[in-house]
């Protein structure tokens, strides 16, 4: 009877004092209850002391510290998301379990469990959620045990709700983007500007579809599929911005006189082919660069994309700054400069054409191009507002660790209205409806080009 009690006491670590800082694995019990022992500082500075759940060689599970063959060191230490050093000795830790009723465990080798032990002693989780040093303990060198507090529940719930709302905002835009693409696909007259608009809309639509699929799907994608989704999201978003850039470049060339007004069919086709190489080739080369960096680069560098590590896209923080928002901001800046230069040129051309007769073809072409400029100015403004709110919410989440609810709601509203806005300014137009009606009547009467019905020259049709 007494021998059994003694064995139980020894197993629980009560019968004799246990040196929590000892690395002598030949001493101690097979398991012990950590709450039975006071916290022990093994030699680290109190301000930045990091807590281990159990003594070296033990692993915390089911509220017990159990002797296991686990690696305790090295433990990487970060400043935000940047690696600054690694701790390799028990003298740089204190040992005690967390004092809380409910806990959860994270393993940093798993994609969605990444955590970053801070040099100040705290813990940084994905989504910029911070945990005080009293609210967690490290468990081996790959795991942490974290107290489940109301704040963590709220942060996780708020972040999930924000992702869902953003996804629904994009879903509202999707049918309007699809309708815009289909209308311009059906209408018979397709000049360069209309083709560029079609590619812009379809790239944006595909980016939305993939991003919503990644964020809202409850299915855990395989690594290869997850990486492909991330790369294609980047490709289509960058492609949409480059097609907008194509429209701005061509508009500037039009009013600067570099290509003149109108143009022949052959020259417009050659120019469109060049634009295609630009708008498809640049994203392809950029994705190749990101792929090589993501595959062979230093994973602890701030320049590493970390794509597919914690989600099927770029990781929050520096990766999204360098490989998403910085390229987009550069292209938006280029577009703004081109629009300013075009607006200046329009004023000069306006004075030159003021004395021309109404029947003069140069004045007709000028008026058509000017209306195109006004349409794209509206589109650029909407795009700028859309991405400005995205950048604000991203920066607030990254640096402030929380985003005011009004920013989320504004971003969600703009995402929902963006596709509707594009549909109304480019489809709800008299000439577009006339072209659509013409196409439908042409199909219903089974007309062919060989029947002698003449069609307008591509360069004479304007997006007005």
Residue 124 contacts residue 116 (beta carbons within 8 Å): yes
- The pLDDT value given to residue 433: 78
Segment of 78-87, 173-182, 412-421 carrying the highest mean pLDDT: 173-182
Give the Cβ contact number of residue 186 at 10 Å.
13
Q: Which residue has better confidence, 291 or 455? A: 291
pLDDT of residue 151: 59
Among 60-74, 326-340, 384-398, which stretch is predicted with the lowest mean pLDDT?
384-398
8 band by pLDDT with thresholds 50, 70 and 90: very low
Highest mean pLDDT among 67-81, 122-136, 276-290, 372-386: 276-290
> What number is the average pLDDT over the span 365-394?
68
- Residue 74's pLDDT is 83
Mean pLDDT lowest among 147-151, 240-244, 340-344: 147-151
- Residue 450: pLDDT above 70? no
Percent pLDDT > 90 in the chain is: 16
pLDDT tens digits, 319-356: 888 999 899 889 988 988 888 888 887 777 666 665 55
pLDDT at 202: 96
Task: Report pLDDT for 253.
Answer: 85
Q: What are phi and psi of 181, to 5 degrees?
A: -65, -45
Domain with CATH 1.20.1070.10 in the chain: 152-460
- pLDDT of 33 higher than 90: no
pLDDT by residue (tens digit) across 34-56? 888 878 888 887 667 888 898 88
Q: Which has more pLDDT, 374 or 116?
A: 116
Of these ranges, 188-197, 359-368, 384-393, the one predicted with the greatest mean pLDDT is: 188-197
Q: Decide which of 361 and 245 is more confident.
A: 245
pLDDT band per the 50, 70, 90 thresholds, residue 292? very high
The superfamily CATH assigns to domain 16-148 is: Methuselah ectodomain, domain 2 (2.170.180.11)
User: CA–CA separation, 71 vs 139, rounded Å?
Assistant: 9
Lowest mean pLDDT among 299-303, 336-340, 445-449: 445-449
- pLDDT value at residue 169: 79
Q: For residue 404, give Cα distances in angstroms to 128, 159, 388, 400, 410.
A: 14, 12, 15, 10, 10
448 pLDDT more than 80: no
**Relative orientation angle of helices 361-395 and 405-426, to the nearest 10 degrees:** 160
Reported as a pLDDT band with limits 50, 70 and 90, residue 3 is very low
Q: Stretch 364-384: mean pLDDT, rounded?
A: 65
The rounded radius of gyration (Å) of the Cα atoms in the chain is 31
pLDDT at 193: 85
pTM (2 decimals)? 0.65
Q: How far apart are CA 163 and CA 1, in angstroms?
A: 60
Query: Smallest Cα–Cα separation from 233: which of 174, 163, 348, 313?
Result: 313
- Mean pLDDT along residues 71-87: 84
Give the model's pLDDT for residue 4.
35
- 403 vs 460, which has greater pLDDT? 403
Q: Give the pLDDT of residue 27.
A: 63
In the chain, ranges of CATH 2.170.180.11 domains: 16-148
DSSP3 helix / strand / coil % (the chain, rounded to 5): 60, 10, 30
Across the range 255-277, mean pLDDT stands at 76
Beta strands in 113-156 (DSSP E): 115-117, 123-125, 129-131, 136-139, 143-147
Specify the pLDDT at position 200. Answer: 93
Q: What is the model's pLDDT at position 70?
A: 74
Average pLDDT in the chain: 77
Q: Extract long-range pairs of 1-5: CB within 8 Å, 24+ residues apart.
A: none
Please, how many CA atoms are within 13 Å of residue 415, restricted to the half-sphere of its CB? 26
* Across 136-156, average pLDDT: 76
- Cα–Cα distance, 274 to 278 (Å, whole number): 6
Distance CA 190, CA 183 (A): 11
- Residue % of the chain over a pLDDT of 70: 72
Most confident stretch, 102-106, 137-141, 412-416: 137-141
**pLDDT at 12 (0 to 100):** 39
Q: What is the mean pLDDT of residues 248-267?
A: 71
Residue 280 is predicted with a pLDDT of 96
| Residue 447 reports pLDDT greater than 60 | no
pLDDT for res 351: 66
CATH number of 152-460: 1.20.1070.10
């Amino acid at each position: 009877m007494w021998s059994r009690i003694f064995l139980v006491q020894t197993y629980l670590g009560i019968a004799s004092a246990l040196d929590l800082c000892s690395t002598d694995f030949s001493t101690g019990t097979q398991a012990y209850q950590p709450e039975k022992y006071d916290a022990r500082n093994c030699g680290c500075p109190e301000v930045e002391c990091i807590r281990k759940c159990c003594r070296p060689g033990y692993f915390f599970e089911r509220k017990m510290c159990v002797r296991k063959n686990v690696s305790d060191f090295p433990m990487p230490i970060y400043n935000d998301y940047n690696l600054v050093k690694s701790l390799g000795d028990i003298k740089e830790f204190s040992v005690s379990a967390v004092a809380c009723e409910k806990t959860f465990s994270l393993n940093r080798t798993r994609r969605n469990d990444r955590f970053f032990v801070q040099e100040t002693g705290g813990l940084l989780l994905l989504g910029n959620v911070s945990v005080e040093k009293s609210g967690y303990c490290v468990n081996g060198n790959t795991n942490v045990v974290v107290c489940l507090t109301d704040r963590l529940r709220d942060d996780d719930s708020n972040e999930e709700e924000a992702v869902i709302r953003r996804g629904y905002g994009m879903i509202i835009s999707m049918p309007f983007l699809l309708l815009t693409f289909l209308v311009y696909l059906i209408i018979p007259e397709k000049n360069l500007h209309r083709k560029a608009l079609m590619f812009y809309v379809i790239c944006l639509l595909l980016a939305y579809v993939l991003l919503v699929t990644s964020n809202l799907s409850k299915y855990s994608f395989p690594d290869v599929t997850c990486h492909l989704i991330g790369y294609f999201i980047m490709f289509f978003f960058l492609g949409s911005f480059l097609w907008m850039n194509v429209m701005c470049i061509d508009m500037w060339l039009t009013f600067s006189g570099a290509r003149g007004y109108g143009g022949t069919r052959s020259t417009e086709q050659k120019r469109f082919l060049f634009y295609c190489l630009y708008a498809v080739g640049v994203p392809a080369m950029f994705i190749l660069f990101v792929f090589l960096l993501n595959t062979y680069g230093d994973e602890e560098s701030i320049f590493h994309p970390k794509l597919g590590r914690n989600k099927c896209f770029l990781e929050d923080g520096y990766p999204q700054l360098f490989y998403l928002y910085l390229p987009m901001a550069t292209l938006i800046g280029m577009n703004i400069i081109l629009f300013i230069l075009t607006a200046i040129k329009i004023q000069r051309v306006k004075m030159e054409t003021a004395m021309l007769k109404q029947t003069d073809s140069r004045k007709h072409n000028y008026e058509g191009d000017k209306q195109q400029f006004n349409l794209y100015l509206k589109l650029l403004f909407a795009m700028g507002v859309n991405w400005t709110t995205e950048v604000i919410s991203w920066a607030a989440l990254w640096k402030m660790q929380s985003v005011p609810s009004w920013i989320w709601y504004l971003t969600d509203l703009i995402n929902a209205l963006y596709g509707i806005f594009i549909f109304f300014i480019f489809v709800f137009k008299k000439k577009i409806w006339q072209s659509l009606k013409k196409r439908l009547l042409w199909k219903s009467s089974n007309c062919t080009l060989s029947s002698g019905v003449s069609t307008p020259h591509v360069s004479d049709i304007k997006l007005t």
